[in-house]
Chains A and B, each alone.
Chain A
Amino acid sequence: MKIALAILAAAALGFPFVFRGPYPQHLAILVMLYALLGSAWNLLGGFAGQVSLGQAIFFGAGAYTSTLLAQHAGLSPWVGMIAGALVAGALALAIGYPCFRLSGHYFAIATIAIGEIAGIAVTNWDFGGGAVGLFLPVGTEGLLSFQFHRSKLGYYYVLAAMLLATLLLSAWLRRGRAGYYWRAIREDQPAARSVGVPALRFKQIAIVLSAALTACAGTFYAQYVLFIDPGSVLPLSLSIQICLVAVLGGVGTVIGPLLGALVLVPLSEATRVLLGGSGRSLDLVVYGLLIMLISVFEPAGIAGIARRLGLTAR
């Protein structure tokens, strides 16, 4: 596990020196963004077993909070990122308290419902730019202002650091008491509660952490693209993609979401580059087919293949 992480970290550090073009670097940023989002989902959906299909709310909360704070109060995106994480955490508490009474599919559908409500609400929210969206003020380049115009390297390393921190946090949580409590809740909640696991409190911890990390990724996205609208940061399809990355990588493993993103993002880009462009969506036909094939032949995700090859320990 440690060796695998070290190799990955070294690969991530060296990648921009081997691939100097903007497109490979953009691809790597997308991979890391989805790996981060998938890892955040995994805390809640993988470790604690509460399948959320509404992660876009937290992503949107991060993107909108930091953007609105920058536009109206001139605050640094880094302050905005913390504020966004706090907003998302508060939203998560408010969502978790009633929804954690629901189990299985009922919880998943409830998160879809809340996500759709958020999407519609923001689309009709004039102060937040409504359906038109918000353009970020273009400022000076630099780490402090969280904008890099001349090359993508700045974004690349900021995101790599964020992802590394998330993976370490995730590994630490999994080994610790929270990890054991979450697994107990996931496997059998009544049994876990009967031996004194405070189920609601630990599910709340999972959703708040998951939301805060997702919101940080949302702020990163806003700074990277410099434009946000409900269609790009709040759609149901984003929530599903996030979940898909974690599931195809391997649910409940630390490295799974990263593996999932490493396979899924280049796959979707490759089909788009090779087959897209005709405007007839042949790329998505192939993409859908591939998702079916992976679900059928490798239901435990890519981490399952890695485990069989002896690359990672369980």
Chain B
Amino acid sequence: MTCELVAQALVSGLLAGFVFALIAAGLSLIFGVMEIVNFAHGEFLMLSMYLSYFLNASLGWDPLVALPLNAVALFLLGVLVYYALIRRVLRAPMLAQIFATFGLSVFLQNLAQFLFRPDFRMVATTMATGRIALGGVFISRPQLVAAIGAVLTTGLLYWLLTRTETGKALLATAEDRQAASLMGIDPDRMFALSWGLGAACVGVAGALLSTFYYVFPQVGGIFALIAFVAVALGGFGSVTGAFLGGIIIGAVESLAGVFVAPAVKNIFVFAIYLVVMLVRPRGLLGKQ
């Protein structure tokens, strides 16, 4: 019984963790390239979920089919935010940068509330429904699809960063902005690209989440806070670290929810971060 319970908690935790991991990977990419924490990351996620919802409600499109559209739309939003806002605070102190993105988060969240009302909404039709029984463990099919989608997308991002010329240029900019620009890499374009890709990651995550999660204006906050912790846990700027952080947090959250109490599960998420920080002050995979 207990064994099955552990397996069940671990499986659902890992499935959720893969989605956290994708959200965190996008956040970490932006930070890695330009050392700005995007406080509006959760609001990007929320907008992507609304996009899925409205495409489904008005045109009947399945969020999973429309997923590439979410990725492209959020990529464009990320690039737009970079040119309209972030570019203007590049040389500002860290705190001014934080509050530029914080202001954006307040703006987007409340704009959504103004336009879409604070109602909780749910995507009505999607091909991923029901659950699969695997031994004594039940797996929710939409969650499984979301986890697989998240892993594939993070894999794609990793491939893009390490195997393509553009990705290498991004990593070079992250490593040393000046040296990269001396090699003929335009940092400005790389910054815009990192915002585009980081936002596209939550674009995909939003489409995947919308098949089984409520859509409402504040939905991003929950995921953004977890993503911050995942990024810091893995080490700021490390996409692999953020992925690892997301998975750990998913598992811890689920196990604590089952074995302690759902109301206090996040205490364990934050506590695990603090414990790891005592041992590795720059995260699991950060440069120590």
Q: Which residues of A are in contact with B by a Cβ distance under 8 Å? A: 51, 98-99, 101-106, 109-110, 112-114, 116-117, 120-121, 123-124, 236, 240, 243-244, 247-248, 251, 280-282, 284-285, 287-296, 299-300
Bound together, the chains give a CA A106 to CA B103 distance in angstroms of: 21
Picked from A101, A116, A248, the residue with its CB within 8 Å of the CB of B225 is A116
B49 CB contacts on chain A under 8 angstroms? none
Say how far B37's CB is from chain A's closest CB, in angstroms. Answer: 6
Assess the B273–A113 pair: CB atoms within 8 A.
Answer: yes
Compute how far the CA of A114 lies from the CA of B105 in the bound complex, rounded to whole angstroms.
Answer: 22
Q: Is A291 touching B99 in the complex (CB atoms < 8 A)?
A: yes
7 A-B pairs closest in CB distance = A288-B107, A291-B103, A288-B106, A299-B92, A299-B96, A292-B103, A113-B270
Residues of B at the A interface (CB closer than 8 Å) are 31, 37, 85, 88-89, 92-100, 102-111, 113-114, 117, 225, 228-229, 232, 236, 261, 263-264, 266-267, 270-271, 273-274, 277-278, 281-283
- Decide: B273 and A248 in contact? CB cutoff 8 A: no
Residues of B near A104 (CB, < 8 A) are 94
- 25 A–B contacts, CB within 8 A, in A order: A98-B274, A101-B277, A102-B277, A103-B281, A105-B37, A106-B232, A106-B283, A110-B274, A110-B277, A113-B273, A116-B270, A117-B271, A120-B264, A121-B264, A121-B267, A236-B225, A281-B110, A285-B107, A288-B105, A291-B99, A291-B100, A291-B102, A292-B85, A295-B97, A295-B103
Complex Cα–Cα for A280 and B116 (A): 9
Assess whether A289 is in contact with B107, with CB atoms less than 8 Å apart: yes
CA distance A112 to B231 in the complex (A): 13
Interface on chain B toward A: helix, strand, loop, or mixed SS?
Answer: helix
**Chain B contacts for A121, CB-based, 8 A:** 264, 267
Contact check: which of A106, A244, A289 meets B99 at CB < 8 Å? A244
Given the complex, which residues of B lie within 8 Å of A287, measured CB to CB?
A: 106, 110
In the complex, the answer to whether B100 meets A105 with C-beta atoms within 8 Å is no
